[in-house]
Structure 1
Amino acid sequence: MPAYQKVLGRRLTHSIHIGTVALWSRYPITDSERVTIDPGWSRSLRARVQGPGGPLAVYVVHLPSVRVGASGFTIARRDQVLTALDHALDQEQQKKVLLMGDLNGATTDRGLASLNSRLTSVQDEAGTGFGFSWPAAFPVARIDHILTRGVTPTDAWTLPATGSDHRPVAARLKA
């Protein structure tokens, strides 16, 4: 966290982190909380950001990984957490919503169908290229996403590798 704060904190003066996820913003974060979508893990948060176009609910999530085992893909845990995330979004009162994070699945993954039916992928709407983010050394899949509701994406792209096994994704949005 100190390394990220050192780099991001200069331009994005508002921040919150809960467990292993964090949000930096140029606009004030007026409240934040852990979103309990995966009990026992602290890998999700919800914050309200006061942007120039009004309040925005921001979700930052890191879903459990899809694993390959002797019996094939194991997606049950990730899909259980997705169901809980869907429930949290059902309860969301804000008209403008931003969800971003490592969803451990492509937008074509049927497990993400519920999210895709209610939110817009910034990469699909305004992105440059394929938006592949994983693995960082030679990206062949887009499993890191920025999804919106009530916010217009104007640009989206993938940044260069950082030392993580994922490449960061970025977007410009118009509220």
Structure 2
Amino acid sequence: MRRVPLKQYLLEAVIRVALPLLGVVLLVAGLLGVVSFGVVPTLDAMRSRQWTPVVATLDWARIEPATVARSRPLPTLAVRYSYRYGGVDFVGRRNDLHFGLDTPSAVQARLRQVEDGRALTAWVNPAAPEQAMLDRSLHWGVLLLSIPAALVALIGGLLVFGGMVAWNDWRPLWRRQPEAVVVVPADEGDADELDTLK
């Protein structure tokens, strides 16, 4: 059994184990970002086109700062409001399609808008009146976050694919032998033909 340098062991471990694992993490994180920032708000926007407007009363509103631990890259406007639908009182906590997530300036502007004392309009789902939101518009600043998330998912997918290719040709290092060169001797008939050609 031939000796294999330690660096070669480490390099193979990185290529075949560490990089694919990193790829899985990036792929999952990127796909979650695409779904959270792009797919879910767009689907909710289409569904909420049929919702019913009602008058709502603001209980409180506050800005929650961005936190990496809770996967919020932007600040969030948290609200609580009351509304009445079908003779029943409800309490809503959803601000918009992005659950209050937006750029800092937009969040500040939205906070001033809901706190200015005017009556609010809540959009209520007739099929499930406990579902409501104050703003049905898509925020392009948040939707654009799905682009870097898609790039992260693409990088993760490439790393996973590279790991699959590396494992496809896997053999222990100590069992790998240099390829032997086979020399086939020419028979006498071939040698006579070569002499004739000369």
TM-score range, shorter chain: under 0.3
Q: Which has the higher contact order (CA 8 A, sep 6+)?
A: 2
Rg larger for: 2
The structure with the largest helix share of the pair is 2
Higher strand share: 1
Length-normalised TM-score, structure 1: 0.25
